[in-house]
Amino acid sequence: MQSVNPFSGQVLAEHPEHTAEQVESLLVTAARAQAAWRGRSFDERARVLRRIGELFGERSGVLGELATAEMGKPLRQAEAEAAKCGLVCDFYADEAADMLADEAATAESHVRFDPLGLVLAVMPWNFPFWQVMRFAAPALMAGNGLVVKHAPNTLGVGKAIVELCREAGLPEGLLSLVVVDVDRVPGLIHDPRIAAVTVTGSERAGAAVASQAGAALKKCVLELGGSDPFIVLDDADLDAVIPAAVMARVQNNGQSCCAAKRFLVEKGVAAEFTSRFVAAMSALTVGDPAGCDVGPLARPDLAVELERQVAASVAAGARVLCGGERDGSFYPPTVLVDVAPGMPAYEDELFGPVAVVIEVADEDEAVAVANASAYGLAASVWASSARGRSLAPRLDVGGVFVNRFPFSDPRIPFGGVKKSGYGRELGRYGLLEFVNIKTVWAE
């Protein structure tokens, strides 16, 4: 397996796949480490986790450079991602003990929260530090061990995470990186030492892993794709909306599950929004991720697929107002209008900086169009606060953000419904995904 810089095309590193014997040794070590770790107190676990967080903060610059080199995200965003990993470590170091404290049930019983064991994590390349650590921090504080199967093109990041955690004092093997191709993941899922599975990735990857986890009768958490609606009603402040709309679409070069993809704009402000949005998208700089607004997509095939989706939509009647022409791994910020049901731009997830603007008559039509999607990860509503809040119960998504584009925060649960997956990460609900909720009755 290779790490390849998508900007320069340079091969950064070769990563030999683990042999069956190496995987077996890794699992033996991981199981032994987890058995000891579950006996440690919350205070002991928290001390290690806080040190991990400190190292992420201290090294956000060099870690950000690594992420940018491997998958092409703008450097300042990569540095912020690494620093954010420190925040999730601190949050669970501070809060997990209280969140997992025994709960009284009846006069004779209580509920306790015990670790499940080893959790297999199948992780993506788009947020290669954050996706791992937002799962790892709560899972470790709960007493679990982690076996991480990272994306082939960001294995350098995966190795850096393991090395950083080991340096911080995490026992050897407690967070392990297994270097295998996807065809060997089912064997890992069915291994009796693996207690549960978590996946962040595409709908296809999630379905494949979930089917194996189901066959093995193991808990599974899925955070999958999204085609998130960004609803703009006629009482929204466009001066605030436009820059937010641009960032909501092009952050991480548009390669984010919870990025805004469909911009549903009420008729009264549709023309002004579209004009200003196109101008702002057209003004973004595209090039070297060390200094530009938008860098290359993570792999050439991803840009080719995005080009195919746009071309098929245009052939069916959509119009391109800006962008729309691929240059190798680069795809420029693009705005499409006249998009209708049946087009890829209407039905599918566009994993790159392509925005779809759809005019709606009123908030009822906005909700109807927003919900007319196979996905249900997150939505944002731009309007008066009261009006925005009133739409929240009607939107079929895992999170609604009023006058803020969707984001993940250690304090609040994150996840979706429909084909965006099931289960939650972050907050207390994310912490409880990988524990044994155990009833204890004592007369």
At 73-129, the pLDDT tens digits run 999 999 999 999 999 999 999 999 999 999 999 999 999 999 999 999 999 999 999
Tokens at 98, concatenated? 């209280």
Q: What is the pLDDT of residue 216?
A: 98
Q: Where do the H-state alpha helices sit in 254-402?
A: 267-282, 300-315, 344-347, 363-371, 385-391
Q: Distance (Å, rounded) from C-alpha 387 to C-alpha 396?
A: 17
Q: What is the pLDDT of residue 360?
A: 98
Tokens at 436, concatenated? 């044994």
Domain positions in the chain are 2-224+420-441, 228-408
Q: Is 223 a catalytic residue?
A: yes
Q: Distance (Å, rounded) from C-alpha 228 to C-alpha 364?
A: 17
Catalytic residue of the set 165, 257, 258, 322: 257
Q: What is the pLDDT of residue 378?
A: 98
* Segments of the chain scoring below 50 in pLDDT: none
The amino acid occupying position 183 is: D
Let me know if 342 is exposed, middle or buried by CB neighbors in 10 A (0-12, 13-18, 19+): exposed
Cα 273 from chain centre: 28
Q: Where do the H-state alpha helices sit in 185-237?
A: 185-190, 203-215
Catalytic residue of the set 81, 223, 305, 363: 223
**pTM of this prediction?**
0.96
Fold of the CATH domain 228-408: Aldehyde Dehydrogenase; Chain A, domain 2 (3.40.309)
Strand partners, 436: 114
Q: Is 363 a catalytic residue?
A: no
The amino acid occupying position 339 is: V
Q: What is the pLDDT of residue 393?
A: 98
Fold of the CATH domain 2-224+420-441: Aldehyde Dehydrogenase; Chain A, domain 1 (3.40.605)
Query: What are the pLDDT digits (tens) for 125-174?
Result: 999 999 999 999 999 999 999 999 999 999 999 999 999 999 999 999 99
Residue showing tokens 């107190």? 41
Is the distance from CB of 149 to CB of 123 less than 8 angstroms?
yes
Q: What is the pLDDT of residue 380?
A: 98
